[in-house]
Amino acid sequence: MLEFIEQEHIYLYDGVIIPSVSEILGFIFPDKYKDVPKEILKDKADYGTLVHKLCEELDIGKTLEELKQEYKFNYIIEATLKQHLKLREKHNIVPISMEQRVCYKGLYGGTYDLEAYADSELSLIDRKTTAELDKEYLSWQLSFYELAKGKKYDKLYVEWLPKKGLGQFIEIERKSKKELLRVLKEYLDCRNNE
């Protein structure tokens, strides 16, 4: 059984701590955030978390006007949410599940953003609010989620909602199961030798 302890961001499988997809990505991309001060990373993470939450609220049927009354947010977030709504309409995105925790054979866990039909195709979607988009990072991230979900999707996508730009809906290339298992083995071997 998969459990998640939010405060520490720890996944447990049958009571045993297992790595998260984020930890495995940190192994693949060890220097990704090394030059970014911690307070800036925290601010960006808080912003991304808020945008994710508000997009989810819109996806379950709340209106932008309702959200404006319920939450206090600035014009940047409002513009971002309008971009989300435009992309949702343009690509006919119909949510199936959101923020679902998944686990691959008790070896790692993670939480994907959105499973949906997009342009009538079964899709796994991640949301990013970063200034720049790292498609290689996303390829690994979404592919690990797909493997853990145990389901083959028609497409993997990112809904990219940068602060100062137009939102984009971009297809992400999938990593093969062989590549994923190779990296997972390397990560687990390295972790076990520490």
The residue extents of the domains of the chain are 2-192
Q: Specify which residues 45 forms β-bridges with.
A: none
**In the prediction, which pLDDT does 7 show?**
85
- The confidence score (pLDDT) of residue 122 equals 98
Plot region of 193 (φ>0 → left; ψ -120 to 50 → alpha; else → beta):
alpha
Higher pLDDT, 165 or 94: 94
Q: Inform me whether the pLDDT recorded for 42 exceeds 90.
A: no
Q: Using a pLDDT cut of 90, give the percent of the chain over it.
A: 81
Question: Does the reported pTM lie above 0.95?
Answer: no
Positive/negative CA dihedral, 158, 159, 160, 165: positive
Q: Please give the Cα distance from 44 to 119 (Å, whole number).
A: 30
- Among 13, 83, 29, 75, CA closest to 55: 83
31 or 158: whose pLDDT is higher?
Answer: 158
pLDDT number for residue 48: 92
Q: Tell me the pLDDT tens digit for each residue of 46-98.
A: 899 999 999 999 999 999 999 999 998 889 999 999 999 999 999 999 999 99
Strand order in the sheet with 10-13: 2-5, 10-13, 16-18
Q: Which CATH architecture has domain 2-192?
A: Alpha-Beta Complex (3.90)
